[in-house]
Amino acid sequence: MPVQRFRAVVGVLLLSTQAGDIDQIVHSERLAIMRVFGVATMVNVVLSLLLSSTIANPLRRLAAAAIRVRRGVKSREEIPDFSFRQDEIGNLSSAIRDMTNSLYDRIAAIESFAADVSHELKNPLTSLRSAVETLPLAKSEESKKRLLDVIQHDVRRLDRLISDISDASRLDAELARADAKSIDLKKLLESLVDISQQVRARSKPVTVTFEADRKSLGKGSFVVMGHESRIGQIITNLIENARSFVPDEGGTIAVRLRKNANQCIVEIEDNGPGIEAENIDRIFERFYTDRPEGEAFGQNSGLGLSISRQIAEAHGGTLEAENVLDADGKRIGARFILTLPEQGPS
């Protein structure tokens, strides 16, 4: 660099360094960059392992368990439980476990229903086969007529069983597909009771009455959400069931409607013999029958009360039974209580 004074060069400045200094500085910077890169790589590896152990592995285990369930192994598969985790993995694990348990419960219910159906169909089929095989061997017209009566009875019984079984099997799917509507329970009961008053079951007159709680009338209408035909089926089943148990003379069936909090309660009470204490819960089991004396065998499939409770529960309600007792604790009738949630304000 020249040194000038009044444009005259009076000297020169020369700056020099050793060649290794710059190389050392560059090398130091390179080492610093490598150290930062190494630390970043280690952090990425640690984070990858952490994410793999906390997210990828649980998802892989859940997927493997779902595949085993889909393949339908004989044993009941247990879904890994990550419900202790308060994150999406924990929520997913709980949802899959609940779904799988519901699936296994439904499969068990279907298998049980199929076994019950097989058992119930086998009895009339056995009787029918025996009658058909014996018919060609009958010598008198009276014997042939008796065998033909047995055949007709068993055919009617099979038809009734198949109809009720079909109704019970498609009930859930039908309720899921159809849209629920507002139902005026008071009007529905008045209509059904009016129809029941006109029915005479084998010359057995029964007085059917209806009463709505006046105190509840002031709280608004008895409106529920549901399927009118199915709720009507419950009421009809209960009235006809009570009709078969009331005495031949002086039989009465009282239908009452009232409210309790946000629930509509229907009570159907008869003056029949009541229910044995040990059978109160069993009467709602599939194919369980406890018919009155004198009624011909095989007139009922044993599915009516079971279907009625199934419909009530599908509507978010309940169906229970109890005995009507007098002051001395003696049974003087039976009472069925149907509870349905009241429709909230729209």
pLDDT of residue 297: 46
In a domain, 257, yes or no: yes
Residue 211 shares a structural domain with residue 185: yes
Residue 149 shares a structural domain with residue 95: yes
Q: Phi, psi at residue 300, to the nearest 5°? A: -135, 145
The predicted-structure confidence for 220-231, as pLDDT tens digits, reads as follows: 578 888 888 888
Residue 163 shares a structural domain with residue 187: no
Please give the Cα distance from 102 to 94 (Å, whole number): 12
Question: At 129, which CATH number?
Answer: 1.10.287.130
Residue 258 shares a structural domain with residue 153: no
Residue 342 DSSP class = B
Q: Which two tokens stand for residue 207?
A: 């007085």
What are the helix (H) ranges across the chain? 19-51, 57-71, 88-134, 141-169, 171-177, 185-197, 214-217, 228-243, 304-314
Residue 120 shares a structural domain with residue 198: no
Residue 186 shares a structural domain with residue 321: yes
Residue 92 shares a structural domain with residue 216: no
Residue 253 shares a structural domain with residue 218: yes
In a domain, 83, yes or no: no
Is residue 79 within 8 A of residue 100, CB to CB? The reply is yes
pTM for the complete prediction?
0.61
In a domain, 120, yes or no: yes
Residue 220 shares a structural domain with residue 281: yes
Residue 284 shares a structural domain with residue 242: yes
In a domain, 10, yes or no: no
Q: Which domain holds residue 255?
A: 180-341
Each of the 346 residues of the chain gets a pLDDT tens digit; together they read: 888 888 888 999 988 777 677 778 888 889 999 999 999 999 998 888 887 777 888 888 888 888 888 887 567 778 888 888 888 888 888 898 888 888 887 777 777 777 777 766 777 788 888 888 888 888 888 888 888 888 887 788 788 778 777 776 666 666 666 677 888 888 999 888 888 877 655 556 788 889 888 776 655 578 888 888 888 888 988 988 888 888 888 889 999 998 887 889 999 999 888 888 777 878 887 777 765 555 544 455 567 788 888 888 888 899 999 998 888 888 888 999 999 988 765 5
Question: At 197, which CATH number?
Answer: 3.30.565.10
Residue 229 shares a structural domain with residue 106: no
In a domain, 154, yes or no: yes
Q: Which two tokens stand for residue 315?
A: 């509507």
SS (H, E, C) 270-306: ECCCCCCHHHCCHHHCCCCCCCCCCCCCCCCCCCHHH
pLDDT of residue 36: 93
In a domain, 274, yes or no: yes
Residue 238 shares a structural domain with residue 310: yes
Number of domains in the chain: 2
Please give the Cα distance from 38 to 34 (Å, whole number): 6
Is residue 262 within 8 A of residue 339, CB to CB? The reply is no
Cβ partners under 8 Å of residue 89, min gap 6:
54, 55, 58, 59, 82
Single residue among 148, 169, 190 that ends a domain in this structure = 169
